[in-house]
Chains A and B, each alone.
Chain A
Amino acid sequence: MKTQRVAKISEFSDLRPIFVNLNGTSVGIYKFREKYYAYANQCPHQAGPACEGIVIGNTEAELLGEGRVREFVSKENMNIVCPWHGVEFDLTTGVCRADPRYQLRSYEVVVNAYEVFVRG
């Protein structure tokens, strides 16, 4: 198990990953609403660089009654989108929205008063 320094807390901005090389694997570390998440930069679909894609609100739909539907993009539930094919993963879990059998490999993130570290 290796602990790798990522960056100062102040260097993070929400939803913009910072990348480190952890044991030869590119890992993207995200901050969103004071929490941190780390994932291997490799999509389980076709190995695309998932963390190099955009982070975007999950597209959701609600039933309005009488068969009518309203679609909207969530500002609470965020997704990492693989730039190769558009496969979307829950930012907070790494689980694929369409098929939970696909998951981004996740890593533990450790934060002290000033800095962010990733372990793996």
Chain B
Amino acid sequence: MATSDRNRNIFGGLDNAVKQADQKGLRDLFIVDADCHIDEPFTWFPKYMPETWRKKYRNVQFSYASEEYEQVYAKFSATPSEPLDPMKVDMMNLYNELRTLSPWDRTMGHRVRRPEIRPEDDEPLGFYEQKAEEIVDTFTTRMNDIGIKRSMLFPNQLLELPNQPDVQLEVEVSNAYIDYMLDKFLGKYPELFTSIYIPSSSPEKGAELIDRVGSEKGIAGILISPTRPGPLSGDEYWNPVYEAARKKDLPVCFHAEAFAYPLIDKFNKEKYLPIHALSFPIPIITQLTSIVVSGVPERFPGLKFVFIEAGVSWIPWIMYRLDSEYLMRWTEAPLLKKFPSEYIKEFYFTSQPLERPRNRGDMEWVLRAFDAESQLLYASDYPHWDFDVPSVIYDIPFLSSEAKQRILGENARKLFRMN
């Protein structure tokens, strides 16, 4: 099957989101997706590396081994890509066996079956490498079909990179990633933007990378891992990166991920629900707190921060918590000129996965607490398992039409300088 047909008229595809865009007039708006993902093709990256690194790089394994998944399914006389007969397959045991391969079974034992997560061809569970033409088709055509006009692309496996021990490898891959993106997409398709992945192990090299490519078309921010080892984001260790980003007026993005969440091992027995609920916001909260208390906004005036894929309901909590601590212990944060919450209100946050409080009216209070109308950016996280379609924002009953347009696109357009 041609890649361009992957989502069209296929079971589990996006056709219902296209209908929503028709019904709600979403294509008449300027919707920006502030966080969506490509499955970056790692096998392409050596092409953009110095010769000396190519051989070593080829031996690096980032993905889960797909053959192991095939073997598990085979035990149950099933294949990953075929519908299972729940009357014949012991689903509980299948689920438990899959979880032995990874605690992060986002499909919940075969339940989440969108074609992007489980391609209908021979790709098993886990990650795969997207072809460049598929990335272009998805984010210029198919996303436009559901109402999205601009996409801030984030990598996938690359987010895992800080947790491997090879410093130089991280530097080489971060350079190769951005060169690949520039070569294939950025500046070539007005819909596509990305951020510069900053090697956590070397802020100086990160700053050099910002200097080198930060003015290129399609570069809309820099990306720092919130779960990396090493100094927190308020540490002076990061000064070269912040200074370089400020000079280029590039927002500093922290994209949540679960890879290094310290409680993962403890929670494994309890499945992915608690890991996912906690592992995304907690590292983000940690980095945000460090940035505020260490006075980074005072040290680098004008530098903008974006916190991605942690939802929003924790934002009032950390605002109140830090304000209360500051009142008592302000001698420990002498650089601050205002309450921590006032700095937090100047940060940007992406919406996904937007919480659904049982009392839906609670969300009005949450959004008001951090001035969501000017600080919140719609994000889909497509194609990941917990993605949000634009109607998640569009259908919020208490937002004005102007507020919806700002959250769905205008805030991001201005922040990321997307035209």
Also in contact, A47 and B389, with CB within 8 A (given A59-B92, A85-B112, A86-B111):
yes
Q: Does B301 contact A (CB under 8 A)?
A: no
Contact of B87 among A15, A46, A49, A52 (CB under 8 A): A15
Measured CB to CB, the residues of A under 8 A from B are: 14-15, 41-42, 46-49, 52-57, 59, 71-73, 75, 78, 81, 83-86, 88, 99
Also in contact, A86 and B92, with CB within 8 A (given A53-B111, A78-B86):
no
Also in contact, A52 and B11, with CB within 8 A (given A14-B87, A72-B92, A86-B108):
yes
Closest Cβ of chain B: how far from A80's Cβ, in Å? Answer: 11
Q: What are 6 of the A-B contact pairs (CB < 8 Å)? A: A15-B87, A47-B19, A54-B83, A56-B84, A83-B12, A85-B112
A75–B16 touching, CB < 8 Å:
no
> What total of chain B residues lie within 8 Å of the partner, measured CB to CB?
31
**Cα distance, A83 to B110, chains bound together (Å):** 9
A15–B86 touching, CB < 8 Å:
yes
B110 CB contacts on chain A under 8 angstroms: 54, 56
Q: Which residue of A lies closest to B93 (CB)?
A: A73
Closest Cβ of chain B: how far from A31's Cβ, in Å? Answer: 13
**Cα distance, A81 to B16, chains bound together (Å):** 16
A59 CB contacts on chain B under 8 angstroms: 92
A54–B16 touching, CB < 8 Å:
no
Given pairs A48-B16, A73-B86, A84-B114, 16 additional interface contacts (CB within 8 A):
A14-B87, A42-B16, A46-B392, A47-B16, A47-B19, A49-B12, A49-B13, A53-B12, A53-B111, A53-B113, A56-B111, A59-B92, A72-B92, A73-B90, A75-B86, A83-B114
Q: Does B208 contact A (CB under 8 A)?
A: no
Closest Cβ of chain A: how far from B6's Cβ, in Å? Answer: 14
A49–B112 touching, CB < 8 Å:
no
Contact of B17 among A41, A47, A81 (CB under 8 A): A47
**Do most interface residues of chain A lie in helix, strand or loop, or is the interface mixed?**
loop
Closest Cβ of chain B: how far from A35's Cβ, in Å? Answer: 15
Closest Cβ of chain B: how far from A79's Cβ, in Å? Answer: 9
A54 CB contacts on chain B under 8 angstroms: 83-84, 86, 110-111, 113
Closest Cβ of chain A: how far from B137's Cβ, in Å? Answer: 20
B112–A86 touching, CB < 8 Å:
yes
Closest Cβ of chain A: how far from B90's Cβ, in Å? Answer: 7
A71–B92 touching, CB < 8 Å:
yes
Also in contact, A55 and B86, with CB within 8 A (given A73-B91, A83-B112, A85-B112):
yes
Q: Does B160 contact A (CB under 8 A)?
A: no
A53 CB contacts on chain B under 8 angstroms: 12, 111, 113
Measured CB to CB, the residues of B under 8 A from A are: 11-13, 15-17, 19-20, 83-87, 90-92, 107-108, 110-114, 358, 385-389, 391-392
Q: Which residue of A lies closest to B388 (CB)?
A: A46
**Cα distance, A57 to B113, chains bound together (Å):** 16
B111 CB contacts on chain A under 8 angstroms: 53-54, 56, 81, 83, 86, 88
B86 CB contacts on chain A under 8 angstroms: 15, 54-57, 73, 75, 78
Q: Which residue of B lies closest to A84 (CB)?
A: B114
A52–B12 touching, CB < 8 Å:
yes
B20–A49 touching, CB < 8 Å:
no
A57 CB contacts on chain B under 8 angstroms: 86, 91
**Cα distance, A15 to B385, chains bound together (Å):** 24
B388 CB contacts on chain A under 8 angstroms: 46
A52 CB contacts on chain B under 8 angstroms: 11-12
**Cα distance, A84 to B87, chains bound together (Å):** 23
B385–A85 touching, CB < 8 Å:
yes
**Cα distance, A109 to B212, chains bound together (Å):** 65
Closest Cβ of chain A: how far from B407's Cβ, in Å? Answer: 17
B91 CB contacts on chain A under 8 angstroms: 56-57, 73
B391 CB contacts on chain A under 8 angstroms: 46-47
Closest Cβ of chain B: how far from A69's Cβ, in Å? Answer: 11
Closest Cβ of chain B: how far from A15's Cβ, in Å? Answer: 7
Q: Which residue of A lies closest to B271 (CB)?
A: A71
Kindly list the 7 A-B residue pairs having the minimum CB-CB distance in the complex, ordered from nearest: A83-B12, A52-B11, A83-B113, A73-B91, A73-B92, A86-B111, A56-B86
A42 CB contacts on chain B under 8 angstroms: 16
**Cα distance, A75 to B17, chains bound together (Å):** 32
Closest Cβ of chain A: how far from B82's Cβ, in Å? Answer: 11
**Cα distance, A47 to B300, chains bound together (Å):** 43
**Cα distance, A85 to B392, chains bound together (Å):** 14
Q: Which residue of A lies closest to B112 (CB)?
A: A86
**Cα distance, A15 to B83, chains bound together (Å):** 11
B13 CB contacts on chain A under 8 angstroms: 49
Closest Cβ of chain A: how far from B78's Cβ, in Å? Answer: 12
Q: Which residue of A lies closest to B10 (CB)?
A: A52
Q: Which residue of A lies closest to B113 (CB)?
A: A83
B17 CB contacts on chain A under 8 angstroms: 47
Q: Which residue of B lies closest to A46 (CB)?
A: B389
**Cα distance, A84 to B387, chains bound together (Å):** 8
B92 CB contacts on chain A under 8 angstroms: 59, 71-73
**Cα distance, A83 to B392, chains bound together (Å):** 17
